[in-house]
């Protein structure tokens, strides 16, 4: 059974449903993103198999698809700048060695993605083999059921409807295959009508069974839900010092930090502002030894246009008022991003149907979001004076609330003592909180500490996250640096909090609305964390300990000192160590715009990112249309052939026209037997169509074949015979 008919297409579609059930839990139970890329790969592989494309073309198309998306996920250069292939090949060879050494935790993310593609490739081949060669699908169907039921029992995955889908698809496939096995065993001729007679009661039985199973009463479970117990066991047991993946872009769960940061260049939002800003999302105030959690929750509702209920910049600090416009790529983002010094959120589009209310958790300072396409933010940029920053030298109950102070200096009881000892050594010569914070911030610029997103340890059950970074690994990314600074300052009584959000992103273009503003693109790779230190007379002051980043705040040092940085943003985004500063010259109206390929490439990627769902749907519709046209090619292909040869005049045309006719007759179902002569085949065709035209045309073709020439005007006479035969093949 290897026909390209509708029953075979139905089998492939049901096989895809079963394969998809293996991918659905991956997106929900792991931090894997872009799952739609792997779903489309399944569709593409099954379509190529159904169309019986030659294996070499299938290999080229699938390999190209895999390499394109590996490049898109992990590499920044252009796809056609093949230098990235060298890096990927080196990484591939290295990971092969890790596999032979059974170092599974050391495999890179690029290689893991490649292995997933290969696994799906093999599964598609097995589906093809089981459906069309063996005509047995029970083993795969049974394995799929076990897979989703185990996940439903022992994980948070809800597989109620997945089981129904699997049962319906599996029994339908087995029913169709049983029909074809019976036809083959009994050696009888099947017809579309006989298959329909078989399918109607089969589908009716499956439908009734599913309906009865859904509405029938169920007995209570004999065992309690194992998911809470497994979660508790996981939290209580350490994961060792492996370096398994921990972060993919921005995440909200920070109770267990560590492990590599997986790159994700997906755009989160674009911002229209006068300069780059750090965009806050939330803060955390309780350090557990493994990560950060909030100390409770205090939600407050406020209206769009009202003052945002955050700890504002004191009135004693000079401020500059600014505005920015945010354009979320996904209008269902669960949070509002805002800069330090936020005052109001305005002009949300579309308007919230619930009286334009926003909800903010003031403990974390996180603002929940409804579906938004864009919004405006009014905010203040503080201009600090160095003498004011240095005023605080110790805790004063008159300037800081006791409970507030205790909350933001809280530390785990089992925090290693050497963290405090190190901090005291670093700050021994400093007399005020600000200078002590600057000393700790500068400490991480030492050569022994390095910025690394991949080779990052995951603390074991007996390890403290900060202690491990400070004294053992000394290698990590923003979470390691910022957590360490916040904890270190707390050990000497300085209140701090851990802040999460995004850096300023990359410059895209100048604003078309306001000449003084620019458009910046912020991706998941810009996810970042930093530190804020509380100074009673200054409020929360940002610090940037991560190596390779800078804290560009405005500080007036007076006549005795000069500011290291004096930029108009608080804080402005610094480039990662591997990046070069982006030159962003202002364009005047008189300057001529030149073609920027990189900008065009960024816009193209942004377009594909924002419209992938519609493009996938269009691709599916186009694929279905192509398959339909292929299916009914007998109705339109003959007309195309007639049009192709209608205006040809040369007598030599008979050579290609005759071979085209043989191909069309073969497609029509009149196959030429092996070693059958042309004259014998022509007699068979004439007998089938009750004519003598094929024999006459074959005689003309043989004359040309043996003599390589024909009398002038021969094709004009033979064309009528050829056209009549082509018309007879119109289905």
Quick one: pLDDT band at residue 373, thresholds 50, 70, 90? confident
Measure the CA dihedral 644/650/651/656, to 10°.
-40
* Contact criterion met (CB below 8 Å) for 568 and 381: yes
8 Å CB contact between 367 and 332: no
**Pairwise pLDDT comparison (455 vs 394), residue with the higher score:** 394
Peptide bond into 179 cis (omega under 30): no
DSSP state, residue 76? -
357-361/292-293 β-pairing? unpaired
The Cα–Cα gap between 114 and 103 comes to 17
Can you tell me the distance from the alpha carbon of 530 to that of 542, in angstroms, rounded to the nearest whole number?
Answer: 7
**Mean pLDDT in residue range 41-65:** 89
Coil vs helix vs strand at 273: strand
Of 547, 419, 420, 413, nearest to 471 by C-alpha is: 419
Please check whether residue 470 is in contact with residue 254, taking contact to mean a CB–CB distance below 8 angstroms: no
The pLDDT of 513-539, averaged and rounded, is 90
In the block, tokens 């940029």 appear at 381
Mapped onto helix, strand or coil, the DSSP state of residue 322 is: strand
Which residue, among 391, 365, 390, 379, has the nearest Cα to 497 in the 3D structure? 365
Which pLDDT belongs to residue 472? 92
Task: Please answer whether residues 375 and 279 qualify as being in contact, where contact means their C-beta atoms are separated by less than 8 angstroms.
Answer: no
- The alpha helices in 220-282, defined as continuous H runs, are 226-236
Helices 109-128 and 55-74: crossing angle, nearest 10°? 150
- Which whole-number Å values give the CA distances from 702 to 232, 584, 652, 659, in the listed order? 84, 73, 12, 12
Distance CA 474, CA 457 (A): 10
Phi-psi region at 557: left, alpha or beta (left = phi > 0; alpha = psi -120 to 50):
alpha
pLDDT over 70 at 226, yes or no: no
SS3 label, residue 96: helix
Identify whether the C-beta of residue 543 lies closer than 8 Å to the C-beta of residue 441: yes
Does residue 201 have a pLDDT over 60? yes
pLDDT on residue 593: 43
Task: Give the tokens for residue 622.
Answer: 């186009």
Helix 417-426, helix 478-491: angle, nearest 10: 80
Residue 38 C-alpha from the chain's centroid:
10
* Confidence grade of residue 354 (pLDDT, cut at 50, 70, 90): low
In order, the DSSP letters of 139-203 are HHHHHHHHHHHHHHHHSS---HHHHHHHHHHHHHHHHHHHHHHHHHHHT----HHHHHHHHHHHH
Distance CA 725, CA 689 (A): 9
Of the two residues 128 and 449, the one the predictor is more confident about is 449
Digit-coded pLDDT (tens) for 559-587: 555 444 443 333 333 334 433 333 333 44
Find the helix or strand (DSSP H, E) in which 451 lies.
strand 450-451
Dist CA 547 CA 463 (whole Å): 23
Contact 409, 403 (CB under 8 A): no
pLDDT-based confidence at 500, cuts 50/70/90? very high
662-697: pLDDT as tens digits: 888 888 888 888 788 888 989 988 888 888 889 988
Question: Degrees (nearest 5) of the Cα angle 723, 726, 728?
Answer: 110
**pLDDT band for position 454 (cuts 50, 70, 90):** confident
Structure tokens given for 402:
């006791």
Backbone angles phi, psi at 572, to 5 degrees: -90, 150
Strands 506-510 and 496-502: unpaired
- pLDDT surpassing 90 at residue 184: no
* Percentage, residues of the chain above pLDDT 90: 21
Distance CA 316, CA 538 (A): 8
As a whole number, the mean pLDDT across the chain is 80
pLDDT in tens, 110-142: 888 888 899 889 888 888 877 776 677 788 888
Strand partners, 327: 270
């Amino acid at each position: 059974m290897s026909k390209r008919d509708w029953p075979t297409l139905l089998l492939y579609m049901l096989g895809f449903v079963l394969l998809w059930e293996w991918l659905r839990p991956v997106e929900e139970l792991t931090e894997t993103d872009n799952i739609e890329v792997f779903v489309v790969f399944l569709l593409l592989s099954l379509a190529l198999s159904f169309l019986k494309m030659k294996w070499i073309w299938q290999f080229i198309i699938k390999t190209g698809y895999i390499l394109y998306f590996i490049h898109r996920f992990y590499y920044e250069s252009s796809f056609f700048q093949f230098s990235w292939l060298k890096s990927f090949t080196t990484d591939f060879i290295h990971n092969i060695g890790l596999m032979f050494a059974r170092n599974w935790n050391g495999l890179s993310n690029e290689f893991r993605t490649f292995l997933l593609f290969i696994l799906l490739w093999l599964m598609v081949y097995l589906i093809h083999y089981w459906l069309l060669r063996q005509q047995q699908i029970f083993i795969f169907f049974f394995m799929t059921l076990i897979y989703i039921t185990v996940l439903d029992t022992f994980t948070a995955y809800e597989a109620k409807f997945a089981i129904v889908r699997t049962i319906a698809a599996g029994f339908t496939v087995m029913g169709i295959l049983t029909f074809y096995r019976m036809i083959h065993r009994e050696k009888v001729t099947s017809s579309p009508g006989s298959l329909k007679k078989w399918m109607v009661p089969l589908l009716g039985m499956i439908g009734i069974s599913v309906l009865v199973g859904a509405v029938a009463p169920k007995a209570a479970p004999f065992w309690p839900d194992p998911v809470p117990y497994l979660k508790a066991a996981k939290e209580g047991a350490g994961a060792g010092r492996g370096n398994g993946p921990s972060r993919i872009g921005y995440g909200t769960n920070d109770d267990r930090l560590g492990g590599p940061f997986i790159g994700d260049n997906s755009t989160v939002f674009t911002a229209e502002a006068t300069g780059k800003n750090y965009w806050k999302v939330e803060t955390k105030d309780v350090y557990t030894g493994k990560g950060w959690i909030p100390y409770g929750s205090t939600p407050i509702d406020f209206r769009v246009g009202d003052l945002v209920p955050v700890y504002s910049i004191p009135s004693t600090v000079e401020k500059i008022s600014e505005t920015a416009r945010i354009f979320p790529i996904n209008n269902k983002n669960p949070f509002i991003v805002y800069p330090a010094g936020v005052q109001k959120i305005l002009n949300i589009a579309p308007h919230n149907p619930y009286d334009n209310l926003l909800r903010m958790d003031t403990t974390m300072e996180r603002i929940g979001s409804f579906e938004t396409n864009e919004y405006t933010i009014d905010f203040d940029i503080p201009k600090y004076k160095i003498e004011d920053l240095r005023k605080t030298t110790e805790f004063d109950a008159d300037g800081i609330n006791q409970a507030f102070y205790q909350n933001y200096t809280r530390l785990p009881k089992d925090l290693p003592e050497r963290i405090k000892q190190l901090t005291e050594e670093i700050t021994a010569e400093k007399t005020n909180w600000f200078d002590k914070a600057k000393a700790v911030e500068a400490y991480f610029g030492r050569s022994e500490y390095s910025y690394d997103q991949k080779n990052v340890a995951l603390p074991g059950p007996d390890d403290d996250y900060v202690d491990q970074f400070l004294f053992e690994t000394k290698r990590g990314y923003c979470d390691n640096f910022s957590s360490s600074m916040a904890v270190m300052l707390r050990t000497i009584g300085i209140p701090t909090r851990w802040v999460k959000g995004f850096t300023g992103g990359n410059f895209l273009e100048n604003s078309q609305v306001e000449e003084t503003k620019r458009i910046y693109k912020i991706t998941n790779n810009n996810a970042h964390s930093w530190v804020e230190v509380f100074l009673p007379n200054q409020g929360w002051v940002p610090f940037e300990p991560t190596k390779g980043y800078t804290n560009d705040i405005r500080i007036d040092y007076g006549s005795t000192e000069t500011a290291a940085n004096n930029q108009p943003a608080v804080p402005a985004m610094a480039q990662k160590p591997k990046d070069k500063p982006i030159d962003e010259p202002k364009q005047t109206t008189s300057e001529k715009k030149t073609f920027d390929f990189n900008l065009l490439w960024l816009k193209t990627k942004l377009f594909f990112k924002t419209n992938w769902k519609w493009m996938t749907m269009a691709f599916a519709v186009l694929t279905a249309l192509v398959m339909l046209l292929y299916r009914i090619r007998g109705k339109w292909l003959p007309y195309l052939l007639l049009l192709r040869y209608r205006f040809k005049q040369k007598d030599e045309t008979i050579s290609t026209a005759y071979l085209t006719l043989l191909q069309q007759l073969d497609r029509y179902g009149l196959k030429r037997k092996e070693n059958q002569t042309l004259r014998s085949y022509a007699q068979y065709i004439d007998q089938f169509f009750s004519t003598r035209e094929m024999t006459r045309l074959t005689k003309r073709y043989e004359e040309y074949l043996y003599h390589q020439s024909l009398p002038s005007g021969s094709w004009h006479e033979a064309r009528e015979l050829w056209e009549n035969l082509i018309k007879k093949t119109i289905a």
